[in-house]
Amino acid sequence: MILGGDLGGTKTLLALAEVVDGRIEIIRQQRFSSTDYGSFDHLLDEFLADRPLVASACFGVAGPTDGQTAQLTYLPWSLAAQAISQRFGIAKVRLANDFAAAANGLSVVDPAFIQTLHPGQPIEHAPRVILGAGTGLGVAGLIWENGRYRVIPGEGGHIGFSPQTTAQGELWRWLFEQNGRVTTEDVVSGPGLTRIYAFFGGRPQQPEEISQAALAGTDRLAEQALQLWLSCYGAFAGDLALHWLARGGVYLAGGIAAKLLPQIDNSPLVTAFLNKREHAALVKNMPIYRLTAEDLGLRGALALAAE
């Protein structure tokens, strides 16, 4: 039996599975509110209360990791693979960046959960990029190597925010005056949508409330905030596409965008993605896909645990 986990600042998904004829079959899966637990050990202890025999485990964590230790960016959770192995009797424990895990999930995701936002002209085995805005902004790259995609993890969400319009420049200045250096994650994330709404003069609200008000057409400021947020998201995705020459595709995964994109006009995101001046023709050939599988990171972690 194998154990996989997708550990985020808002939610944690865990699953026990077996590998049958080369396929991963989930036996038990559970969702937890991450902030309800002071440590990951307490959460895992609850999930493994019946103490099943687990041969290997992999946990995708929302934060930097060296594979053996990790500190989540937005939770006071510190993980050590060896300590987890000893406490829970798991022979092999591996830690991975959450978007590295999600990137590994691309190889096992059902095509039905991949929707095209911009078709481009994909090239087989060309580099890919996966990113997703939720509590934070996750990024990972994929390059073809030895007959399979190799995942390159990173903390790309903490790249400095690069304004592309006058309004974005004013937003950057407003954020800079509050906290200094402005990262892309400060803008392109769930909390980032809340910040943009406040920048336009809106009262404090959760990103879900802002997005729903924008969709319903009941709040002009929410509509403005969402439009700006989408354009910032698309511009950053296009910058990553240029960096990786992602002719294999740019994949938008998880978080707030996965819930929003099916319901809204995606043109601000796609337009900003394609707006690359002298390299507009190059990015036009790069596909944009939306991943609708909410457990992509979990399945990627299970795939890593099965290796």
- The domain limits of the chain are 2-105+296-305, 120-286
Just give the CATH number of 120-286. 3.40.367.20
Burial class (CB in 10 A: 0-12, 13-18, 19+), 114: middle
Instruction: Please give the Cα distance from 66 to 49 (Å, whole number).
Output: 28
Q: What angle do CA 281, 163, 202 make, to 5 degrees?
A: 125
CA distances to 11, 117, 120, 138, 141 from 97, in Å: 15, 26, 29, 9, 12
Q: What is the pLDDT along the chain (307 residues), one digit of tens a residue?
A: 999 999 988 899 999 999 998 889 999 999 999 999 999 999 999 999 999 999 999 999 988 899 899 999 888 999 999 999 999 999 999 999 888 898 988 988 888 889 999 999 999 999 999 999 988 898 999 999 999 999 998 889 999 999 999 999 999 999 999 999 999 999 999 999 999 999 999 998 999 899 999 988 999 999 999 999 999 999 999 999 999 999 999 999 877 766 676 677 889 999 999 999 999 999 999 999 999 888 899 999 999 999 8
In a 13 Å sphere around the CA of 176, the CA atoms on its Cβ side amount to 11
Query: Could you tell me which CATH number the domain at 2-105+296-305 has?
Result: 3.30.420.40
Whether the CB-CB separation of 99 and 106 falls below 8 Å is answered with no
Q: How many CB atoms lie within 10 A of CB 178?
A: 10
Rounded Cα–Cα distance for residues 255 and 294 (Å) = 8
